[in-house]
A and B are shown apart, each in its own frame.
Chain A
Amino acid sequence: MVQQAPGVRIDGLTVVYKTPAGELPAVRGIDLTLEPGSITGIVGESGSGKSTLALSLLNAVQPPGRIAAGRVEIDGLGDVVGLAGEQLRKARGRHIGYVFQAAQNSLNPLKTVGKQLLDLGRSHGVEDLRGLVREAKDLLGRMGLDGARVLDSHQHELSGGMRQRVGIMLALVLNAHLVVLDEPTTALDMITQANILKIVREVHAERGLTTLVITHDIGVVAEVADRLAVMYGGRLVEQGPTREVLGAPRHPYTKGLIRAIPRLVGDIDEAQALPGRPPTLATVPKEGCVFRERCALRMDVCDTVDPQAVADGPRTVACHAVTVTVKEHA
């Protein structure tokens, strides 16, 4: 079966969570395009809305949250925000593979991996279950695991790195071509982390996937992603080709993030933590720029007007200060 890597267009996506203080947006007005065959990385601190965004791709935002506005167009599926019931269920797993955070236990503790694989096959009407098992063993083998043994194991018999590879296998075994990895390397040791990232790159290239990686770790994105999107307070503040964004960050938040990374070489004091704390659902400003409280370039306009994402070639930045300078230069 030849299947093209699908493209994804996210358009004006807003996700709100119901709280005693009313519905508060966790993700607001996101526009993002995943080119077919690309690896896109989304970076943000915890609470920035990046996981909510990832779940939106499967229309799987958990209550009390809901997608309040926007579209998520996936090639071959249409707008997943409009999908429901069986249609949505079949799209998950078959078209979109989702790989859970490594620290989480994404497997049923009472069943062997193999039995869960068969459950997955039956759920998606796979007739050739033997073929499915063969495919799974093959995938596991390529990730450096003993397929037969892993399929015969329970979750608690596998290490974190092994579980993560099993997660990737389950996301791909039904031949999904859009893969979302949510914090794929969190809680793994450095060696395993590097291993998993290598596997992600290889599998991505081999199978012709469109991949979205969610992480709080800029290093991970730098390692694998073609494009990078930075989230803060539920907004996309900057996006563009990874090298360009990391090499010449424009948004004050991106700059702060990169400055906060300690270098292996050089003085540890050069690393500067961003002052203040990221906002939570309740404290994120309702109007104006979400980042202004921590921003060194804060202006009067930031208090009242939400900065629009302004495109400049392959890059977009949402910041009044940056837009002004761009205009001045133009």
Chain B
Amino acid sequence: MSATLVPETASAASTMRRNFWRGVWRVMKRKPSRMAGVVILAGFILMAVVGPMLLPEHLPGDTSSITQPPSWEHWFGTDPQGRDVLALVVKGSRYVLLTAAVTALITVVAGTAIGLFSGFKRGRWDTVLMRLTDMKLTIPGLPLLLVLATVWQFGSPLQMGLVLGLLGWGGVARAVRSQTLSLRERGFIEAARGLGLSTSHIIGRELLPSMAPYIAMNMLISVTGAVYSQVGLFFLGVLPYESDNWGVMLNLAVFQAGAMVTPTALGYLLGPLLAILLLTLAIVLVVDAMDEIFNPRLREE
């Protein structure tokens, strides 16, 4: 009996990993839309990395065709300087995704660290940190950003990512804390301690892997929020003009070109809008797929 069990445990880790990827594949296959989500997201990343390299530093403006409606030559028309809107969107994607990456990094690192610390230590530290998180979740985010913009014009992608990340770790911290607590309740941590494992081992090898899905999902959700906020802030025009940016494009389209009420300028507005919608759609689909991959209730063996 025990003889048959030994090889099983030895290869358990690699089997699990293989099962995981097979699970991912199965979930993807079940709904093709999810595959589409992953493909779109990958497309955006590619666009942000490679796109700007293929385009000239300063996009050529054609003064003879300013604010044109969509045509074969310019799929989304041209802006008031006669530049191709599609090219502007491609150039702008780098800002959006770079900021999102910085936000994601800060959100995950700060959120995980604070959540783990809080859930692990419990007691007074936990209370203080959670009160702080509560407070941050209570102060309305967008108005706070607007007010902050008067003190510090956080226009560059790194600064923007920093601000959004520092304001946005609350959700991840919450999720990590409650996961830690629930693992703790199930005797997970005590059991590991009983086996003589060190705290860093428990956290690094046991807790984090089991929490990775929650962290990833909460990160994606907060990244979505960060994308909206950054584009929104530029759209509102409270930050200094930053070239190649979807929010700035929207701002100029609406408040200068009057694109909302001028049909010929519609392309200028729709370019960045569709880009945001597509990115949103991709993230929603990926979160949906992740939900099913990681949620044992939805996954069937």
Chain A interfacial positions (CB closer than 8 Å to B): 19-20, 275-276, 282
B1 contacts A20, C-beta separation under 8 Å: no
B300 at the interface (CB under 8 A from A): yes
For A19, what are the chain B residues with a Cβ–Cβ distance below 8 Å?
A: 300
A276 contacts B1, C-beta separation under 8 Å: yes
For B301, what are the chain A residues with a Cβ–Cβ distance below 8 Å?
A: 20, 282
Interface centre among A20, A275, A276, A282 (most CB of B within 10 A): A20
Total B residues in contact with A, Cβ cutoff 8 Å: 3
B300 contacts A275, C-beta separation under 8 Å: no
Give, as a whole number of angstroms, the nearest-CB distance from A34 to chain B. Answer: 34
Listed by A's residue number, 6 A-B pairs whose Cβ atoms lie within 8 Å are: A19-B300, A20-B300, A20-B301, A275-B1, A276-B1, A282-B301
Give, as a whole number of angstroms, the nearest-CB distance from B19 to chain A. Answer: 14
For B1, what are the chain A residues with a Cβ–Cβ distance below 8 Å?
A: 275-276
**Closest chain B residue to A282, Cβ basis:** B301
Interface of chain B: mostly helix, strand, loop or mixed: loop
Task: Report the separation of the CA atoms of residues A92 and B20 in the bound assembly, to the nearest whole angstrom.
Answer: 44
**Closest chain B residue to A64, Cβ basis:** B300
Give, as a whole number of angstroms, the nearest-CB distance from A19 to chain B. Answer: 6
Task: Report the separation of the CA atoms of residues A282 and B301 in the bound assembly, to the nearest whole angstrom.
Answer: 9
Give, as a whole number of angstroms, the nearest-CB distance from A28 to chain B. Answer: 21
Q: Which of B287-301 contact A (CB under 8 A)?
A: 300-301
Task: Report the separation of the CA atoms of residues A276 and B301 in the bound assembly, to the nearest whole angstrom.
Answer: 21
**Closest chain A residue to B26, Cβ basis:** A20
Task: Report the separation of the CA atoms of residues A19 and B301 in the bound assembly, to the nearest whole angstrom.
Answer: 9
**Closest chain B residue to A20, Cβ basis:** B300
Give, as a whole number of angstroms, the nearest-CB distance from B278 to chain A. Answer: 32
Give the top 5 A-B pairs by smallest Cβ distance, nearest first. Answer: A20-B300, A19-B300, A275-B1, A282-B301, A276-B1
For A20, what are the chain B residues with a Cβ–Cβ distance below 8 Å?
A: 300-301
Give, as a whole number of angstroms, the nearest-CB distance from B292 to chain A. Answer: 13
**Closest chain A residue to B301, Cβ basis:** A282
Task: Report the separation of the CA atoms of residues A20 and B30 in the bound assembly, to the nearest whole angstrom.
Answer: 12
Q: Which of B265-301 contact A (CB under 8 A)?
A: 300-301
Task: Report the separation of the CA atoms of residues A19 and B299 in the bound assembly, to the nearest whole angstrom.
Answer: 11
Give, as a whole number of angstroms, the nearest-CB distance from B25 to chain A. Answer: 14
Q: Mark B46-77, 1 if CB is under 8 A from A, else 0.
A: 00000000000000000000000000000000
**Closest chain B residue to A276, Cβ basis:** B1
For B300, what are the chain A residues with a Cβ–Cβ distance below 8 Å?
A: 19-20
For A282, what are the chain B residues with a Cβ–Cβ distance below 8 Å?
A: 301
**Closest chain A residue to B30, Cβ basis:** A20
Task: Report the separation of the CA atoms of residues A276 and B2 in the bound assembly, to the nearest whole angstrom.
Answer: 10
Task: Report the separation of the CA atoms of residues A322 and B50 in the bound assembly, to the nearest whole angstrom.
Answer: 75
Give, as a whole number of angstroms, the nearest-CB distance from A47 to chain B. Answer: 14
Give, as a whole number of angstroms, the nearest-CB distance from A24 to chain B. Answer: 12
**Closest chain B residue to A281, Cβ basis:** B301
Task: Report the separation of the CA atoms of residues A105 and B301 in the bound assembly, to the nearest whole angstrom.
Answer: 28
Task: Report the separation of the CA atoms of residues A142 and B41 in the bound assembly, to the nearest whole angstrom.
Answer: 67
Task: Report the separation of the CA atoms of residues A20 and B300 in the bound assembly, to the nearest whole angstrom.
Answer: 7
Give, as a whole number of angstroms, the nearest-CB distance from A18 to chain B. Answer: 10
Task: Report the separation of the CA atoms of residues A11 and B300 in the bound assembly, to the nearest whole angstrom.
Answer: 31
Give, as a whole number of angstroms, the nearest-CB distance from A98 to chain B. Answer: 26
Give, as a whole number of angstroms, the nearest-CB distance from B131 to chain A. Answer: 28
Task: Report the separation of the CA atoms of residues A169 and B281 in the bound assembly, to the nearest whole angstrom.
Answer: 53
Task: Report the separation of the CA atoms of residues A275 and B300 in the bound assembly, to the nearest whole angstrom.
Answer: 27
Task: Report the separation of the CA atoms of residues A282 and B1 in the bound assembly, to the nearest whole angstrom.
Answer: 20
Give, as a whole number of angstroms, the nearest-CB distance from B4 to chain A. Answer: 11
Task: Report the separation of the CA atoms of residues A275 and B4 in the bound assembly, to the nearest whole angstrom.
Answer: 14
For A276, what are the chain B residues with a Cβ–Cβ distance below 8 Å?
A: 1
Task: Report the separation of the CA atoms of residues A91 and B300 in the bound assembly, to the nearest whole angstrom.
Answer: 34
Give, as a whole number of angstroms, the nearest-CB distance from A17 to chain B. Answer: 11
Give, as a whole number of angstroms, the nearest-CB distance from B251 to chain A. Answer: 50
Give, as a whole number of angstroms, the nearest-CB distance from B177 to chain A. Answer: 26
